[in-house]
Amino acid sequence: MKKIEKALAQYWGFETFLPLQRQAMECISRGTDSVVVLPTGGGKSLCFQAPAVTMPGLAVVVSPLISLMKDQVDALKECGVAAERIDSSLSVSQQNNVFARINQNELKLLYLSPERLLSGNFLAVLRKANLSFIAIDEAHCVSMWGHDFRPEYRQLGSLKELFGDITIAAYTATATDHVRGDIAEQLKLKNPQILVGSFDRPNLVYKVQPRNNITKQVCSVIDRHKGESGIIYCIRRKDVDGICAQLESKGYSVAPYHAGMNAADRKKNQDMFITEKVDIIVATVAFGMGIDKSNVRYVIHTGMPKSLEHYQQESGRGGRDGLEAECSLFYSGGDYGTWKSLMRDMPTEAYKIAMVKLGNMYNYCTAGVCRHKAILKYFGQNIDTDSCNACDMCLGEFEYIDDALIIAQKILSCIVRLEQMFGGSYVALVLIGSKDKRIIENSHDMLSTYGLLSDYSKHTVRDWIEQLTGQDYIEKYGEYNVLGVTEKGRTVLKGLQTPRLLKPVVQKAKVKLSKAVTDSWEGVDKELFEALRKLRSTIAGKKKIPAYVVFGDAALRDMARKRPASLDTFLDVKGVGEKKYKKYGETFIAAIKDYCFEHSLDMDVEGY
């Protein structure tokens, strides 16, 4: 482990391990098979990269996507690690060059797709090479129970036989027990150590709001993150195009991404996002797999995803560098109906499971409890604090209303008076006493519940209806989402149970953000950070590599905190290893010097 610690500092500029990284690396060093389950951003790649650098021989990394391999290999090369990949995007002479390096024992890591690893002539080359171990990235692809099964991963079950009991380390961010066990079984691992990390992402600030004026809601999030990278997810392609056009007309730097675009345009837009030529990508869920961009500072969902697994994965693309990121979700009851109809043609059993997942997702939106706790609970974990200080509920952006029982009774009895034959919007209109033509024509202005909530806006009442639905007091039926009162709802009408109802706080309470969120900005000169970001982007543009491969946001913030004046102190910056310090040290120090001179600031700030 001493060697590994030294490599960590020398190549990556890190002094400590993230949770479970040490144990995961120890497994490889000892020759114990392992299944390592860590959330996105948990630092899985380092678990195999650091041992690979220190052990004799070549480590093979199996990865499902060319973009993932390319990103990791580029980043390793930037750190001075001898790594290569072989995939279809390389020319024959480039591939031959890699083969030559394997034969001369020059490489420490080789990235491959599973089908290439198991192809005849490749096997012959690798069996001659001195392999240190095999790492399997995105290992859930081996399991049919996972969300991304790939048949070519199944053949990896023969590795143990082909490579004489070689150590195998499998990595995934998929949390379920079933998938974990299946990975170990399919890969024929021997007494594997299973390491499962906490799925909490304390640096993600979760917020959920009913959708009303989506463009305005989206802009308010973007405006909190000017010039930073963000992803906006939409359910449908036409929403992607709509939102993209709206944002473009307002002067935001955006590009669309969805499966209806041709491959070249998709790639172009993805590259522009990764190299930070555009700030924002507006996309369907087609975007994301294989994106390693570490400094996404916000993820907006303009509609409700179909499960919490999807939400966790998509929102998890924010803040991979461990710094704070905002995850804002705007939902409406209509999203529930949209998914329901999109999934209608699924086989019965799958449909049933999908509906349970959809229901859980909807409850997450409407339940009004700590978002971190709710997500963790879903994945069978817990956090032990009263307040996460990193979600809208714990940050006091909503408050419970005192007269929830009376308001709920008014809403439920209105549904009953309407003979359970109308949808949420109509019920809300009746309750606020609207003069809508349909209501007058139906004589519903004569109902005793007409205008009972006339002190509130339609939005508010509509939102309460969703909250009551999320808590199972109301049910939605049929194609038109007609509202009905459930058994549980009847107990509210009898006054035997009180639902939780929330409303936004107008004057936001002064709150303390979570430590994960505040720590990352402590002592950082934000203007200097911005200047360094621009410098990073210029360098990345010239070298045609992603900006975060030059330096991550965490390293730039540490520079803007410590303001190093010499190469010596530059090496103390978190995330600066020897290679990068030689490559970029002088340029960044010069920029820091200029800035400090202009602003009469001291350099080499101590205490961090």
Can you give the binding site for ligand ADP, defined by CB under 6 A? 14, 16-18, 21, 38, 40-46, 292, 294, 320-322, 552
SS3 of 269, please? helix
83-85/109-112 β-pairing: parallel
Q: How far is the CB of 50 from ligand ADP (least distance, A)?
A: 9
Nearer of residues 102 and 573 to ligand ADP, judged by Cβ: 573
Distance in angstroms (rounded) separating the CA atoms of residues 55 and 169: 15
- Rounded to the nearest whole angstrom, what is the least distance from the CB of residue 58 to ligand ADP in the complex? 20
**Single-letter code of the amino acid located at 161:** E
Give least dist CB 61 to ligand ADP, A: 12
Query: For residues 24 and 142, which CB has a smaller minimum distance to ligand ADP in the complex?
Result: 24
Closer by beta carbon to ligand ADP, 139 or else 528: 139
Pick 199 or 588: Cβ nearer ligand ADP? 199
Nearer to ligand ADP by Cβ, of 39 and 210: the residue is 39
User: Whose structure tokens read 């590994």?
Assistant: 4
- Supply the DSSP symbol for 56: S
Q: Which CB sits closer to ligand ADP, 276 or 463?
A: 276
Shortest spacing between CB 181 and ligand ADP, in angstroms: 21
Ramachandran quadrant class, 159 (left: phi over 0; alpha: psi -120 to 50; beta: rest):
alpha
| Residue number, 292 or 314, with CB nearest to ligand ADP | 292
Closer residue to ligand ADP in complex, CB, 108/462: 108
How deeply is 521 buried, as exposed, middle or buried, from its count of CB atoms within 10 A (0-12, 13-18, 19+)? middle
| φ, ψ (nearest 5 deg) of residue 320 | -65, -20
Closest CA to 86 of 70, 75, 72: 70
Burial of residue 542 (number of CB atoms within 10 Å: 0-12, 13-18, 19+) = exposed
294: left (phi over 0), alpha (psi -120 to 50) or beta: alpha
Closest approach of ligand ADP to the CB of residue 40, in Å: 4
CB of 376 to ligand ADP, least distance (A): 17
| CB nearer ligand ADP, residue 141 or residue 418 | 141
> Minimum CB separation from ligand ADP for residue 535, in Å?
19
* 252 vs 581 by CB, closer to ligand ADP: 581
Helix H or strand E encompassing 241? helix 237-249
Terminus-to-terminus CA distance in the chain, angstroms?
Answer: 26
Residues in the chain: 608
Residues 6+ apart with CB under 8 A from 422: 415, 430, 482, 483
DSSP-based three-state secondary structure for 44: helix
**CB of 14 vs ligand ADP, minimal distance in Å:** 4
Task: Decide whether 44 or 258 has the Cβ nearer to ligand ADP.
Answer: 44
The answer to whether residues 258 and 240 touch, using CB atoms and an 8 Å cutoff, is yes
Report how far residue 147's alpha carbon sits from residue 174's, in angstroms, rounded to the nearest whole number: 8
Closest CA to 312 of 74, 40, 69, 563: 40
Rank residues 1 and 354 by Cβ distance to ligand ADP and give the closer one.
Answer: 1
Buried b (16+ CB within 10 A) or exposed e, 103-125: eeeebbbbbbbbebbbeeeeeee
Shortest gap between Cβ of 373 and ligand ADP (angstroms)?
A: 22
Query: Which CB, 135 or 388, lies closer to ligand ADP?
Result: 135
- We find the least distance from the C-beta atom of residue 314 to ligand ADP, in angstroms, to be 14
The rounded Cα 274 to chain-centroid distance in angstroms is 15
CA 98, CA 286: separation in Å to the nearest integer? 32
- Return all residues near 574 (Cβ < 8 A) that are at least 6 apart: 13, 14, 15, 554, 555, 558
Q: Would you say 305 or 546 has its CB closer to ligand ADP?
A: 546
Residue 400 belongs to what H/E stretch?
strand 398-400
The minimum distance between CB 255 and ligand ADP, in angstroms, equals 23
**Do residues 75 and 555 lie in contact, with contact meaning Cβ atoms separated by under 8 Å?**
no
CA dist 313 and 183 (Å) reads: 19
Q: How far is the CB of 205 from ligand ADP (least distance, A)?
A: 18
User: What is d(CA 481, CA 458) in angstroms, rounded to the nearest whole number?
Assistant: 18
Give the shortest CB-46-to-ligand ADP separation in angstroms.
4
Q: How far is the CB of 115 from ligand ADP (least distance, A)?
A: 22
